[in-house]
Structure 1
Amino acid sequence: MFKNQTSNLKIYLLTLLSFLTLLSCKTSITKDNTAVDNFAAADQIIEDIIIPTFPEATFNILDYGAVADGVTKNTVAIKLAIEECNAAGGGTVLIPSGKFLTGAIYLKSNVNLHLEDGAVVLFSTETKDFTPLVHTSYEGQELMNYSPLIYSYKEKNIAITGKGVFDGQANNANWWKWAGKEEYGYVEGEPKQGDDHNLPRLWAFSDKNKPVSERVFGEGHQLRPQFIQPFGCENVLIEGVTILNAPFWVIHPIKSNNVTVDGVTINSHGPNNDGCDPEYAKNVHITNCTFDTGDDCIAIKSGRNNDGRQVNIPSENIVVENCDMKDGHGGVVMGSEISAGVRNVYVRNCTMDSPELDRAIRIKTNTLRGGFVENVFVKDIKVGKVKEAMLRINAYYGTYANQEGDFIPSIKNIHLENITVEDGGKYGVLIKGRPENIVKNVTLKNITIKSADTDLSVENSEPLQFENVTINGKKY
């Protein structure tokens, strides 16, 4: 009873702190010279996140028959080590130096999957090695599909750590071509994810509220698995590892609470290769990571269309700091699968720089997705080069693909400060809100954008609030 009371008190205090933070931000905007720290709530989120710990017991996969030749499949050996570790009350499953080929890995409670320096885990490219099908998600809609390469379902206290490498081995010859794009190996006439038996079928299931158990895909379909997916998990740590060549989204904590992603390097340039996608997730800390991706570096999500509205779990209390964003569609992004909403996002002390990075901060939705984005705080960001904009807010995302509906999104309380941009690309700031519910309360403070083709392009928004902002040498 007392534990629950303590937990409820912490939730109350965090909510109160977030509210007071917003009040402080509003005060600072009115230029009354009040010194405020808009990131006090972020510090509290980090302090309250539970990082899993494990008993000292170690279970070396070599003791379960694993062979480090890069050819022998070690799926069974890794499974046995994890199961014995879990049954013994927890500990570390050790993957030592060497190359180990495997199919899907299922990570159980109280297990730390640890890659020794020099360890390389190669994942099979044969679809049968990612069966049986599991309860998973594809672009914000739940289904039964191929298992993610590393998967957990409703487990508690799990970790993936070490200095080794996970290589999904996805490329134009296997998973990537299912995206249906020639640059990823697709040949006209081959099956692809956009065919009627794939995504349109899943969308129809979602619209009709068909149970997940009846949304069966997998073999004979072309929907790619995520790389790492903790689904409905508590107390998750992913630390230190390098991740290469994902079939689809790389790290996807969905319906999970207390998630730490620390010191991870992601280098994966396939289609939809988002780096880290918290979805319906709470209390997430992403820090000290490097993202070099084929899609958004970090994309915070909360379900697509009817599925998101039915689940109705906003993603909230997410802190991103000390990260380096290279290639990608956006540095830190909210959307586009955002139907249940996103709030309380804090981004600080990051660098974003690449001729192949489209935007630094991005919010994307439409009237089919709907949802809300509120209370986003960004500070101390160094941007080298981006293609399109330092800040891009788009409430018309994907309208070229019939993405219009009846769910007007809400976007408000977006605050950026202490940002320098060397080359902002086409726009310094690009905002396209909806006339039915304009973008509200966007503030820019201590921002210098040295060059951009166009300073500002703002539609259907309250007037931006500037304090010490310079774009192309012009003061705002």
Structure 2
Amino acid sequence: MTGERTAAAPSDSAVPSGSAPLSDASAPSGWHLADALRERVAPPRFPDREFPVTRYGARGDGRTDCTEAIRRAVADCHAAGGGHVTVPRGTYATGAIHLLSNVDLHVEAGARLAFSRDPAAYLPVVLSRFQGVECYAYSPFIYAHGQENIAVTGAGTLDGRADETHWWPWSGQEEFGWRPGIPQQEDDWPALWRQAEYGVPVTERVYGAGHWFRPNFIEPYGCRNVLIEGVTIIRSPMWEIHPVLCSNVLVQDVVIDSPGPNNDGIDPESCRDVVIRRCTINAGDDCIAIKSGREADGRRVNVPSENILIEDCDLRHRYGAITLGSDLTGGVRNVFVRNCRIGGPGLYFGLYIKTNSVRGGFAENIHLDGITVSNLTKEFVTCDFFRGEGDSGDQTPVVRNIDIRNVTVGRARRALLARGYERSRIEGLRLTDCAFGELAEGDRLENVEGLVLDNVTRNGEPIAHEP
């Protein structure tokens, strides 16, 4: 049982209560901000009341549709002033679950929520973001909008039941079941992108029945005081945990094992004050991806992701272990990553910063310390402004103050791939006390200003960079 917890007091100011000025975060000693953040982000408190879903007619037989029973349990828990909606041992078939303030959805050990494969189970449409653009689309499997003090906890399993015949083919990737003639998200994406570019109101961007945007798994939208703890998430249609425009978010002791298409693990987007710790992630895309909206829509909303601590996590598969972007238009600042274990035969990058002159935005004050990497197929740090669209846009990306300390890498293609624009150089990239083992190639650096290497070695020898 989750038990009583003390709710954090969120701040309505532009800089959360307890935050230091940006100039402090830009200093190598900025780790004191991470410690303050760890103390500030507290889990919400829930009254010691239980609302078992079985009391409302839910049956753990794997066949009975429990959607309405869970809905009524959530509504009663909320109306009573809050508590725990408990899911006991068994398999419970359900559609979308919408949380309300002061409700903890507690999935007990031995319990499984098995989510419907029928898209109609995720209607009516709700406000969401698809690839960084706001729209009304299929409900995420577990969703909350504008709520306070909410949680998904327990030692149970959340099973999205996506596979090569359900949800994943909409990705348009043959590896995941798509074949010519099967609908896919690219049938809809150009229309949504144009709507955002031309400023069509979000209420008119509706992509429900007859459209093909896959829903995310857990998505609190515009919420305060969010806890996701202990659960195992498998077989997601798309991203697993996607808080948007939230503050005071704590994700801990979660296991994610979902190697499907675009199956990012944890994606805080335009969020403030986030702690992610003791999570194990085996994802089909980036393990942890910090985002802030995309292109015209990112500039319209204009809310960065800031004050994010990631610690004691195991990040194993597939693209970036820690990624900033590529939906980075609103900016990312003050990210702290420490004491994480990274690597595996299918993991590409350690720190992956994705932006260019189409996306724009900024990434600044990024701190890594105490990272152990077994093996990567590509670079430990990659930031390439020429990736994807190259220099074809009218935005100027800004990447600065990347401080990396106490990193050990067993094997990778390179230590660094950093390519800025001549008009916008990557600034302040510092590596201290870092040891790289086997590197297949030398670093690739273009338009990098203020690179500092202090006790950085390759197989015990100091790394020397060629222009």
After TM superposition, the score normalised by the length of structure 2 is: 0.95
Q: Which of these residues, 14, 17, 33, is aligned with residue 19 of structure 2?
A: 14
**Shift of the alpha carbon at 1:21?**
4.4
Query: Equivalent residue of 2:265, what SS?
Result: coil
CA 1:10–1:136: 2 relative to 1, 3 Å: closer
Q: Indicate whether 1:150 and 2:142 are aligned.
A: yes
Are the counterparts in 2 of residues 336 and 397 from structure 1 also a CA contact under 8 Å?
Answer: no
Q: Indicate whether 1:413 and 2:396 are aligned.
A: no
Query: Equivalent residue of 1:455, what SS?
Result: coil
Q: Greater CA deviation, 185-194 or 321-330?
A: 185-194
Instruction: Output the CA distance in 1 between the equivalents of 2:168 and 2:81.
Output: 39
**Shift of the alpha carbon at 1:115?**
0.8
Q: Which runs of 5+ in 2 are unaligned?
A: 1-7
Instruction: Output the CA distance in 2 between the equivalents of 1:41 and 1:111.
Output: 30
Which residue of structure 2 lines up, in the alignment, with residue 101 of structure 1?
93
Which residue of structure 2 lines up, in the alignment, with residue 216 of structure 1?
206
> RMSD in angstroms over aligned alpha carbons?
1.7
Instruction: Output the CA distance in 2 between the equivalents of 1:356 and 1:419.
Output: 20
Which residue of structure 1 lines up, in the alignment, with residue 181 of structure 2?
189
Relative to its length, the structure with more helix (as a share) is 1
Instruction: Output the CA distance in 2 between the equivalents of 1:20 and 1:133.
Output: 43
Query: Equivalent residue of 2:296, what SS?
Result: helix
Runs of 4+ in 1 over 4 A off after TM superposition: 3-10
Which residue of structure 1 lines up, in the alignment, with residue 232 of structure 2?
242
Which residue of structure 2 lines up, in the alignment, with residue 41 of structure 1?
33
Are the counterparts in 1 of residues 428 and 451 from structure 2 also a CA contact under 8 Å?
Answer: yes
Which residue of structure 1 lines up, in the alignment, with residue 5 of structure 2?
none
Which residue of structure 1 lines up, in the alignment, with residue 435 of structure 2?
448
Are the counterparts in 1 of residues 169 and 182 from structure 2 also a CA contact under 8 Å?
Answer: no
Q: Indicate whether 1:428 and 2:420 are aligned.
A: no
Q: Which runs of 5+ in 1 are unaligned?
A: 26-36
Instruction: Output the CA distance in 1 between the equivalents of 2:377 and 2:435.
Output: 17
**Shift of the alpha carbon at 1:460?**
1.4
Which residue of structure 2 lines up, in the alignment, with residue 33 of structure 1?
none
Q: Indicate whether 1:354 and 2:359 are aligned.
A: no
**Shift of the alpha carbon at 1:189?**
2.4
Instruction: Output the CA distance in 2 between the equivalents of 1:98 and 1:232.
Output: 32
CA 1:97–1:177: 2 relative to 1, 3 Å: same
Q: Indicate whether 1:300 and 2:290 are aligned.
A: yes
Q: Indicate whether 1:80 and 2:84 are aligned.
A: no
**Shift of the alpha carbon at 1:404?**
2.7
Q: Greater CA deviation, 311-320 or 6-15?
A: 6-15
Q: Which of these residues, 163, 166, 179, is aligned with residue 171 of structure 2?
A: 179
Instruction: Output the CA distance in 2 between the equivalents of 1:460 and 1:59.
Output: 59
- CA deviations on 1:409-461 (whole Å, 9 max, x unpaired) are 0000001010000001x211111111110100000000011011113111111
Which residue of structure 2 lines up, in the alignment, with residue 34 of structure 1?
none
After TM superposition, the score normalised by the length of structure 1 is: 0.93
- CA deviations on 1:227-284 (whole Å, 9 max, x unpaired) are 0000000000000000001101110000000000000000001111000000000000
**Shift of the alpha carbon at 1:188?**
1.3
Instruction: Output the CA distance in 2 between the equivalents of 1:124 and 1:57.
Output: 28
Are the counterparts in 2 of residues 428 and 471 from structure 1 also a CA contact under 8 Å?
Answer: no
Are the counterparts in 2 of residues 455 and 471 from structure 1 also a CA contact under 8 Å?
Answer: no
Q: Which of these residues, 314, 334, 341, is aligned with residue 331 of structure 2?
A: 341
Instruction: Output the CA distance in 1 between the equivalents of 2:149 and 2:210.
Output: 35
> Percent identity of the aligned residues?
42
The one-letter amino acid paired with 2:20 is T
Are the counterparts in 1 of residues 170 and 213 from structure 2 also a CA contact under 8 Å?
Answer: yes
Query: Equivalent residue of 1:59, what SS?
Result: coil
Instruction: Output the CA distance in 2 between the equivalents of 1:350 and 1:257.
Output: 23
Are the counterparts in 1 of residues 18 and 40 from structure 2 also a CA contact under 8 Å?
Answer: no
Are the counterparts in 2 of residues 364 and 396 from structure 1 also a CA contact under 8 Å?
Answer: no
**Shift of the alpha carbon at 1:57?**
0.7
